[in-house]
Structure 1
């Protein structure tokens, strides 16, 4: 929508500049052919008209470029999404995940899809939007092994993010004063990879 509006503004700016370039003598002759008895237009009126036309054309051009900037800033490009997904996978890889005896997370950090979406948005950088990212879960996902297809508003590319929860005994934690046999938080690490294409 903004792109079409920007194009209209650019066309209007070009027409206004063309109007400003018409010579005063030509305008006078057209006017005289249409209405021979009309009083002559002074040169100052043509100067004022040219300034107004060029000023309006400049405003149209500036608004057109702003519209394109807003449009670009509201959509993801394939390059922005690729970079953000790769960085998100890198930062999530090795993330510590502890569960209690029942298997529930000790510190809940969202579901995997929300975790991926937030991390991709955070790593968007540049003029990438701060929303519009979706991580769609593949069929058959479990807490231990899950695949997500990551897409974003405006981008044609899709990426597959694989999360595997790997047991890490060295990250087990027993609170001080308790026996390890009584209560221990089991440590896991997330192994995260990404590749281009849907899962």
Structure 2
């Protein structure tokens, strides 16, 4: 953050130099017999000062963008969690690992939804309790969100699975609905 402040303060200083033109003020106070820079040299100095100020503004904005990309804000995590909730409801799902529930699926959806907003390795989805409540948090966001998932057996049936002995069966699929609430579960 210090780099960003330094860049903008330096840019402001060069803007003052370009706008006020302290060289012109200095040379006007000297006697006419002294060698004064030409008007072209003073204009070039001002243009150069504007250019240097622009470089520092660009550097400060780039550093700020890198800082923003390196961490999550609370609103970005909430938007990604709500998008993941919509993604869960889009198509039927099979039951996952009983100890994990839908946590890995939710984490993948949150990561996909939040692409470009923060680093994906800083997202955490943890199952809260034995039900289908999941706590979604991210480093730097400062807050957590609770996603409650309800499952209902899908009307589409399930996935057909042929057996090795000639029998067949099906793996049931579930329609999921999810809500996202502020705070931990």
| Class of the TM-score when normalised by the shorter of the 2 chains | 0.7 to 0.9
1:149-168 CA-to-partner distances (Å, cap 9, x unmatched) read 10123323321123455556
Residues 117 and 172 of structure 1: is their aligned pair in 2 closer, same or farther, counting only changes over 3 Å? closer
Q: Residue 97 of structure 1: CA displacement?
A: 1.0
More strand by share: 2
Partner residue in 1 for 2:132: 146
- The equivalent position to 1:171 in structure 2, one of 142, 148, 158, is 158
1:63 matches 2:62: no
Residues paired across the two proteins, number: 176
SS of alignment partner, residue 26 of structure 1? helix
Q: 1:151 to 1:98 in 2, by over 3 A?
A: closer
Question: What per-residue deviation string (whole Å, max 9, x for no partner) do you get for residues 9-28 of structure 1?
Answer: 11111111212223544212
Moved more, 185-194 or 4-13: 185-194
Runs of 4+ in 1 over 4 A off after TM superposition: 164-169
| Structure number with bigger Rg | 1
Is 1:88 aligned with 2:74? no
TM-score, length-scaled by structure 1: 0.70
Match of 2:126 among 136, 142, 158: 136
Say which of 106, 111, 114 aligns to 1:124.
Answer: 114
TM (norm. structure 2) is 0.74
- Give ranges in structure 2 of 5+ residues lacking alignment: none
